[in-house]
A and B are shown apart, each in its own frame.
Chain A
């Protein structure tokens, strides 16, 4: 037994925790947008890809300081989120959900193809390596630790914003009853646009942390898009706390499952768990 429960198992568990932080951060914006506007941005991971390219070009090509490049990327993706809502989502806001899905799916392919044409197929990277954090025999990615912290900070910050600010209260109110709030003087269009910008900003934040860990290429969204969507569904679409918890559960299945069995089995077990949960709690862990 001691051969199995060794320091390496602990490393796998802790790496799962850090991966959970990364996935939780990814799911935040998507959940926020769905929770308020009731539309799934299938192209969410492609917005993150745009943010990664923004950091790359500002930092590597135009030699901006890294932090400034990241702040600009967050602002840019927030703007993209706003544009996405104004020009793509708003016209189909009252359409069938399948039409909304198809429209954002179209944006996904558009952004991938546009990135290929504009940025080329070459893999790009910042060339920035954060030092590892050693803990005895174990060693961890500092970039993942930062992502973990950002995910925690993002959830707390978002909770404070939604519960303590006037705008946050308006956002929550709109998400609860889209029909009645205009009668109380709240402009849903403005709130939706603001939420989209906020969702985009969270995608921008995720892109700043992903760019420290992954190469940038037009198809990077394929690695994260599906898993982010599954986590949101597992947690309960639109439920940020649910998504947060689901991210850590999913990550532990991947990390520890992959440690005990083959790496591929980690994902298989995670998806089996997802399917089982969809039978048991179709609306997700914390879905109502």
Chain B
């Protein structure tokens, strides 16, 4: 009898193993940077957020019986490595689709190649408008914001408070636009220039620089000569820290600093380096989920935010969760919960064509995601085909290390402190 029991147990184990081996899975290749300068600029938190979403979905049984098998590749903050990794994921790992991507410099060529190869690419983080604009992509979708929206939001913000807070009429408001010179920085800066001019403000300097430049002292000197009231800055890291350090050493004064995501959204890191010097700084980005008033979101979103926060803190410890973690989580969640089920159920699989059709059917109202925005993609034949038309950015202000939403007024959670209070390192 013991032998019979043993045989039965072995048979049962074999059956279980076979069933497990045969469990259906969807293989997704995610590309982020977990080494090189982009890692600390937000790419690594985005990967942490993405993993949290996948783990959570898998723990709840996957997507319609499919387990999500995520393959993560490190682009090492290099464009060529990103493209090689994408090729490897498609040809060797045989992934069903691609997702992730932090840097716009990587996004531009990757999106073109993926679309040309009819491979579905779901962009979680990179924001340059030029990634999508006039490209007529079929298989590339981006649920997050795009850089034109950054430029518009921050200029509207400054214009709105120009008279009431700064005591300066908008036409006399002196704006300096400085940016890293990749597609991301150049895209945001171009939008800044158009929008600030449209708002009737005075642009006194607009200048780009390489994110790996070893010296920015001449930029600081030019800013000293231009005497801006507000600096609109788009950069990664370590260029932001280099700029701020040299600005402080050279005695640059201004009344407000407004960053545009990436390094400016990593407030914990900036505070480690500059302490109180970065108090009252701003960053525009899709909302860091935990900052939104849960009452403005649809049912279930608050719980999802708590889930993300607890999973993020398990990995990174307590602190201000950067927007990139929410971007990684939120946009992966949308893919897993709103695109894949429709592709499988309605279009019979997860090939690029089925995924494309399913993505075009996504219709999430504003407030239906943890970052507040809704999702509806611009359709084929439009200039921004594949871009989410319901995304929006918020302007956050950091006070004593905590972020608050300062703009737009509809979701505002703080009355912004403008200009810098007297005694601030950079206050005139």
Chain A residues within CB distance 8 Å of chain B: 6, 8, 11-12, 15-16, 18-19, 113, 116, 121-123, 125, 127, 129, 132, 134, 139-144, 213-215, 217-220, 222-224, 227, 254-259, 262-264, 266-267
Contact = CB atoms under 8 A, between A and B. Distances in A.
B246 A141 contact: yes
Contact of A263 (B37, B213, B237, B248): B213
B251 to A, nearest CB: 4
B44 interface: yes
A15 B241 contact: no
B43 to A, nearest CB: 9
A224 B214 contact: yes
15 contacts: A8-B221, A15-B221, A19-B217, A116-B35, A121-B35, A121-B44, A123-B238, A134-B251, A139-B251, A214-B242, A215-B242, A218-B35, A224-B214, A254-B215, A263-B219
B225 interface: yes
Range, interface on chain B: 35 or more
Contacts of B225: 6, 8
Given A123-B238, A264-B209, A255 B217 contact: yes
B59 interface: no
B249 interface: yes
B190 to A, nearest CB: 15
A18 B37 CA distance: 26
Interface of B: 34-37, 39-40, 44, 77, 181, 207-210, 212-219, 221-222, 224-225, 237-238, 241-242, 245-246, 248-251, 269, 272-273
Contacts of B213: 223, 263, 267
Contacts of B250: 11, 15, 132, 139-141
A224 B212 CA distance: 9
B212 A223 contact: yes
A222 B222 contact: no
A19 B215 contact: yes
Given A213-B245, A214-B242, A219 B77 contact: yes
A12 B225 CA distance: 11
- Which of A143, A218, A257 has its CB near the most chain B CB atoms (within 10 A)? A218
B242 to A, nearest CB: 7
B207 A262 contact: yes
A227 B214 contact: yes
A142 B216 CA distance: 16
A123 B40 contact: yes
B250 to A, nearest CB: 5
B251 A132 contact: yes
Nearest to A23: B214
Contacts of A223: 212-214
Nearest to B270: A123
Nearest to A210: B214
Nearest to B246: A141
Contact of A264 (B210, B246, B248, B272): B210
B37 A217 contact: yes
Nearest to A256: B218
Q: 10 smallest A-B Cβ distances: which pairs?
A: A258-B218, A139-B251, A121-B39, A141-B249, A15-B217, A263-B209, A8-B225, A259-B218, A223-B214, A215-B238
Contacts of A259: 218, 221-222
B208 A132 contact: no
Contacts of A8: 221-222, 224-225
A256 B209 CA distance: 15
Contact of A262 (B35, B208, B248): B208
Contact of A139 (B245, B249, B272): B249
Contacts of A143: 249
Contact of B218 (A15, A121, A123): A15
Given A12-B221, A15-B218, A222 B212 contact: yes
B129 to A, nearest CB: 21
B317 to A, nearest CB: 12
Nearest to A223: B214
A155 B77 CA distance: 36
Contacts of B249: 132, 139-144
Contact of B237 (A16, A18, A123, A144): A123
A215 B251 CA distance: 20
B221 A217 contact: no
Contacts of A134: 251
Contacts of A264: 181, 208-210
Contacts of A121: 34-36, 39-40, 44
A70 B242 CA distance: 22
